[in-house]
Every structure is written in structure tokens, then in C-alpha cells.
A = this chain, B = another copy of it.
Amino acid sequence: MNIPKTTRILGIDPGSRVTGFGVIDVCGREHFYVASGCIKTIPGDELAGRIAIICEHIGEIIDTYRPNHAAVEQVFVNVNPAATLMLGQARGAAIAALTMRGLPVYEYTALQVKQAVVGQGKAAKEQVQHMVVRMLGLSGTPQADAADGLAVALTHALRNHGLAAQLNPNGMQIKRGRFQG
């Protein structure tokens, strides 16, 4: 009997004040909600303290949910250079926390996320949230940053249907574009 292997994806939407995250399970072409939320840093805090909070919480999420892959949204270059630098630092810290735990990190632009989840790159934020709710069969709408974390995790799943095959090269076969255990 062919039982598709489950891949667990941690999606991260980095921000200088709020970092959204979402964890999903992918089994064949089905996606299941596991967890989501957001990591908030204290605005007045010094940078090292904010980075420590981001790293600590990402570490806790990895310890709790044990994902196989991480997907991180690429951030916009802001018109304000100081804001761009701050956002870059938060994003670099998040990726560092993921790579230091040995997680393979995949990056997706906001355009790729919208195209994968909604089907078109110019989709509004609400459309992304709506599709996240539908695709994962959620009973309520998650907070905006948490929804973005789930959306980037879904993007990774949708763009890599052969994902589980990579994780278990000996026991997997891809048949007609679907992976099977």
C-alpha cells in the first residue's frame, strides 16, 4: 500500500516588529494546519534584545513542531533606508535561527506567494488570508502576520509537490506528478 509521507513546513514572514509564522503538514497534495502565530518584539528595545527574542522563539517553534523545511518570505525594500536596514536585520536573524537548527531554508517573494495561494500576483492581503482559511479548512481567520506565515508555507508546498520524495529518496516514487511512499 502506498502511504504518502508527511512533510512539515514552517513558514516565516519576517518583520522588524512582528514576525509571523505558520506550520503546516503536507501529505500528497493535501495540506493540514498545525500551528500559527506571531513573535512580537518590544519596539523600544535595543536591536540585540529584539534579535534574541526572534531567535529564541523560532528555536522554541522548531523544538515544539519539528519541521522538515522552512520557507521565508522575501521582504520589500522600504523607501525608508533605516526601516529597510532594520527589516533586513530581523530577517537575517530569523534565517540564522533556522539555519543554525539545520533547517533547509527556501525563499519566496510576495509575488510568488500571491501567485501560488491566490493564483495572481496582484491579489490583496485579504484574498491571501481568505485562501489560507479555505485551503487549510480553518474555522476562523488567523491574525494577518500568522496568515502570511501560513501562506509562505503553503507556497513552498504548492511549488514542490515532489517534496517528500527529496526527503526519503529510497522509499519514494513519483508517479504522474504525485509523490507516493
Contact = CB atoms under 8 A, between A and B. Distances in A.
Contacts of A97: 96, 100
Interface in A75-101: 75, 77-79, 81-82, 84-100
A4 to B, nearest CB: 27
Nearest to A101: B100
Contact of A48 (B46, B54, B99): B99
A85 B96 contact: no
Given A75-B85, A85-B88, A100 B99 contact: no
A156 B86 CA distance: 23
Interface of A: 46-48, 51-52, 54-55, 59, 72, 75, 77-79, 81-82, 84-100, 104-107
Given A84-B84, A93-B96, 9 more contacts: A47-B107, A48-B99, A51-B95, A51-B99, A85-B88, A86-B88, A92-B93, A92-B96, A100-B100
